[in-house]
Amino acid sequence: MESWLLGTKLAIVLFVAVQWIETGSESGAVAVLLVLAYVALSALFLVVRPPAWKRTLVSLALLLSALSALLFNPLFALFIPLTGAELVVAFSGAARLAPLPAVIALLPLPTALWAEYLLCAAFSLLVLALATRSRGRLDAVVRENEALRAANEVQRRRIVAGEEYEHHVRRVVQLEERNRMAQEVHDRVGHAIAGSVVQLEAASALLASDPARAGQMVRRSVEVLREGMESIRITLRGIKPQTEELGVGRLRSELNRFTAASAIQARLTHSGDVAAIEPARWAVIIDNTREALTNVVKHSGASRVTMTIEILARLVKAEIRDDGRGAYSIKKGLGIRGIEERTQGLGGTLIIDGSSGFSLIMLFPREERSGGD
């Protein structure tokens, strides 16, 4: 805003100089000195920051213009409309009162100067109005940016707090699982091993005097240790999650993280035997879902996202659908092309639908997993 006003003042100074030359006025050195003083005060107005200093400088510039017009040459009155309007706005903040100094200064002027004065006044007040309006819009944008920055900071803290909570929960679960596993091993395996050690020590002592009984004790120890080994296998099988459980868990974790970061509700539903999805396809589904969720935030304007996995007779269907604005003309950017390439790389097909919200459907041929431990 200040730069606009300084440019207008320089234009008025140039106009005054031209008028001075055309009228053939004398005392050119004094006129140059007064003009330079006015320009210096206007330039300092741009440099200083405290409002009190700004009001002081614009007051001095107005006083200089008025005294120069009264005591030296009426042409200096052309500086009064803009400088006076600045002073009114600086003290009162009311832009509607800005024309008052121009009207007051017009009264003692010679009639021959009224045309030039009114032209400069109209031009000055127009520039001031435009500059004030532009400054108001800029201030509104700054306030909006500050509000967005504050909202982003709040959201960032929520995400950090959510990640810390998630890490804490995982740690607690791990500790509980370790405790349960230690108890399982102690109860099922510890006694068997301890008893077998005693039996083997006794068999070693009887080996020379009673080989038959020692052999019987060794065989019994072998049976007990075999039972202990089977107990260990059963314990570990109960601890180790199945591949499909890992896939569903990771997918649900991605959706929960997305909801926490974007405030867009996301949910997962699945039907059928998810064991039919191989690990490589789980990886592709999760990667594609992550990319699709990024696009939802950027382009959709959605409030809800649904992830659906269906295991059909011959196909595995995975769909990500949002309730956003959709798109009747689909333009495949890098994100969608990457989703399509990953899907096709595992023999699948990608279907894109933007008619009702936006959805990505991945279809994979179903392959039954072979059994076994």
Q: pLDDT higher for 149 or 48?
A: 149
Q: If we measure between CA atoms, which residue out of 124, 89, 90 comes closest to residue 106?
A: 124
| Burial degree of 300 (CB within 10 A; 0-12, 13-18, 19+) | buried
Pick the CATH number of 243-365 from 3.30.565.10, 3.40.50.10860, 3.40.630.40, 3.30.420.10: 3.30.565.10
pLDDT at 372: 46
pLDDT of 190 strictly over 80: no
Torsion of CA 215, 219, 225, 227, to 10 degrees: -160
Other beta carbons less than 10 A from residue 12's beta carbon: 19
Average pLDDT score over residue span 211-239:
71
- Please enumerate in sequence order all residues whose Cβ is within 8 A of that of 231, keeping only pairs 6 or more positions apart, or say none: 188, 189, 192
Q: Are 68 and 34 in contact (CB under 8 A)?
A: yes
**Of the listed ranges 72-81, 247-256, 265-274, the one predicted with least confidence:** 72-81
Residue with tokens 């868990």: 249
pLDDT at 262: 83
CA atoms within 13 A on the CB side of 70: 10
Q: pLDDT digit string (tens) for 298-353?
A: 888 889 999 999 999 889 999 999 998 887 777 788 888 899 999 999 899 999 98
**Prediction pTM value:** 0.40
Measure Cα distances from 34 to 16, 71, 72 in Å. 12, 12, 10
pLDDT at 212: 80
pLDDT of 246 strictly over 70: no
Residues 85, 191: Cα–Cα separation, whole Å = 97
Q: Are 46 and 2 in contact (CB under 8 A)?
A: yes
Three-class SS of residue 308?
strand
pLDDT at 191: 64
* Banded pLDDT at 369 (limits 50, 70, 90): low
Strands (E), 243-329: 265-271, 304-311, 315-322
pLDDT of 260 strictly over 70: yes
Q: pLDDT digit string (tens) for 95-126?
A: 666 666 665 666 666 666 667 777 777 767 77
* Banded pLDDT at 80 (limits 50, 70, 90): confident
Average pLDDT score over residue span 67-86:
73
What are the residue ranges spanned by the domains of the chain? 2-140, 163-239, 243-365
